[in-house]
Structure 1
Amino acid sequence: MKVLVTGAAGNVGRYVTEELLKMNEHAVAAGTNVEKLQSMFGGEVETVYIDLTDPSTFQKALEGVDRVFLMRPPHLGKPEDLFPFIDEMKNSGIRLVSFLSLMGVEKNTIPPHHKIEKYIESAGIPHAHIRPGFFMQNLSGIHAAEIRDLDQVFVPAGKSRTSFIDAEDIGLAAAVILHNHKNYQYTAHTITGPEALTYYEIAAILTRVTGRNITYKKPGFLTYRHYYINVRGLDKAYVNVTVALYFMTRLGTAKAVTADFTELTGRKARTFEDFARKHIGCFNKVQ
């Protein structure tokens, strides 16, 4: 049988797909840009078109599939957008859905992931929620522009601590769960890195790695929101979700360090300094 990987072109989905291949699983990379998926995986993976807001694409995508890696596309602000696909998974007899959720979301009703988890559970589908800490790729991706161009980490997290996790490690953990699906039905796993860092410490690490003086700007919520919507031009709904997450971070929801990654994989999670050195090109100024 096959494993459907939604969001296979994204930060986590690509690593889930690659790790499943190493386990000799029949992975199906799914997304709205099939040509990009074919280019990414070089023909080694079956690809299929799926639009999680278009039920007419569900049946073909789930053909021959018994397990699913499900992630919420960032542009979908309403949890109800995913409910029809969850219903289709139930009707298709999926044996395990591994949903990419958020750390602490079981106690936090604000992010859409909370309602999505609850809907999967109420549907009775065997599931294994993956609740990672903040991605290290947030810093090498969405927040890298200010690091590169302004020598600043521009995040409204105050003095809070965050147990950052590399998306590559999340992908490995998800693949282990999907590969050994019978062992992980009706479970949840909080996946974190090995340490909880403040953004001041993040800036110090980036200073060490890049050789430039990187500082933590520590903007307020309104300043951050205005900048990312009006200067960076990002979608308002997406920015609002990030504001909510950083608000919760200030309350201490992102600081826990767990052993779940090591228990699942037998490996140690990557440190942020190791990550920054591996991806230094994302933080260097463009010449």
Structure 2
Amino acid sequence: MKVLITGASGNVGRYVVKELLSKGETVVAAGTNTEKLKKIFGETVDVVNFDFADEKTYEKALEEVDRVFLMRPPHLGKPEDLYPFIDALKSHNIKLVSFLSLMGVEKNTIPPHHKIEKYIEKLGIPYAHIRPGFFMQNVSGIHSVEIKENNEIFIPAGKSKSSFIDAADIGLSVATLLHESEKYKNTAHTITGAESLDYYNIAKILSEVTGKKIIYKKPGFLNYRSYYIKKRGLDKNYVNVTVALYFMTRMGTAKMVTNEFYHLTGRKPRTFLEFASENVNCFV
């Protein structure tokens, strides 16, 4: 049987695919841009057109599939947007769904991840939720624009700390869960990096690896929201979710460090210094 990967071209999805292939699994990469998926993965995977908003794409995507990596696309801010596909997983007797959730979401009802987890559990679908800390790729990706152009980190996290984790480490964790589906049936895993850092620490590390003087700007929520919607042109629903996440971060929800990644994989998670050094081109 096959493993379906939603969001296969994303930061985490492509690593899930890579690690599953290394474990000998047959992988189906799903997305709305099949040509992009073919360019990324070539002949190593089956590629299928899939759209959460189009129920007609579900049947083909789930053909001969018994395990699923489920990722909420950033533009779908409502948990209900994923419910029809989760219903389809139930009707296809999927033996494990690994949902990319969020650290601390079991106690935090604000992000959509909370309701999605609960809906999967309510339907009785075997699950293995993965609850990572903040992605290192958030810094090298969406927030890298201000770092490159203005030498500043523009994130409304105050003085809070986050236990950043590399998306590659998340991908390996998810692949482990899906590959050993019976072992990890009906479990949840909070995975983090090895250290908890504030954005002053991040600025110091980035200054070290780039040779530039990078500062942490520490904007307020309203300033951040206005800038990302009006200046950066990002979707309002997406920005609202990030505001909620950074609000919770200020409450201390993102600082916890766990050993779960090591217990799952037998490896130590990559540090932010290692990540920044290997991805320095994202910041200069």
TM-score, normalised to structure 2, is 1.00
- Residue 125 of structure 2 is matched in structure 1 by 125
2:115 is aligned to: 115
Q: Which amino acid aligns with 2:153?
A: V
Question: What is the RMSD computed on CA atoms of the aligned residues?
Answer: 0.4
1:194 maps onto 2:194 in alignment = yes
Cα distance in 2 between the residues matched to 1:191 and 1:52: 26
- Distance in 1 separating the partners of 2:238 and 2:52: 17
Q: Which residue of 1 aligns with 2:171?
A: 171
Deviation sequence 1:118-158 (CA, Å, 0-9, x none): 00000000000000000000000000000000000100000
Q: Which amino acid in 2 is paired with 1:246?
A: Y
Counterpart in the other structure of 2:75: 75
Deviation track 1:96-118 (CA, whole Å, cap 9, x = no partner) reads 00000000000000000000000
1:273 Cα deviation (Å)?
0.5
Q: Alignment partner of 1:67: what SS?
A: strand
> Cα distance, 1:88 vs. partner?
0.3
3-state DSSP of counterpart to 1:77: coil
User: Offset at 1:58?
Assistant: 0.4
1:154 aligns with 2:151: no
Structure 2 Cα separation of the partners of residues 233 and 127 of structure 1? 36
State the 1:177 CA deviation. Answer: 0.5
User: 2:247 maps to what in 1?
Assistant: 247
Report matched runs for 1:30-49 at 5 Å.
Answer: 30-49=30-49
Instruction: Provide the C-alpha distance between the structure 2 equivalents of 1:121 and 1:93, rounded to a whole number of angstroms.
Output: 14
Structure-2 separation of matches of 1:81 and 1:198: 33
Hey, what's the Cα distance between the residues in 2 that align with 1:43 and 1:31?
Answer: 16
User: Match of 1:276?
Assistant: 276
Instruction: Flag as ranges the 4+ runs of structure 1 deviating above 6 A.
Output: none
Return the alpha-carbon distance in structure 1 between the equivalents of residues 280 and 96 of structure 2.
Answer: 37
Question: Cα offset for 1:43?
Answer: 1.5
CA–CA distance in structure 2, aligned partners of residues 171 and 90 of structure 1:
24
Match of 1:219 in 2: 219
The residue correspondences of 1:9-88 to structure 2 (distance < 5 A) are: 9-88=9-88
Deviation at 1:44, TM superposition (A): 1.1
Q: TM-score, normalised by structure 1?
A: 0.99
Q: Classify the secondary structure of the residue corresponding to 1:182.
A: coil
Aligned residues: 284
1:224 CA drift (Å) = 0.4
Give the whole-Å Cα distance in 2 for the aligned partners of 1:60 and 1:212. Answer: 50
Tell me the CA shift for residue 54 of structure 1. 1.0
Q: Give the SS at the match of 1:261.
A: helix
Q: Which 5+ residue runs of structure 2 have no aligned equivalent?
A: none
- Secondary structure of the 1:223 match is helix
What CA distance in whole angstroms lies between the structure 1 residues aligned with 2:210 and 2:180? 40
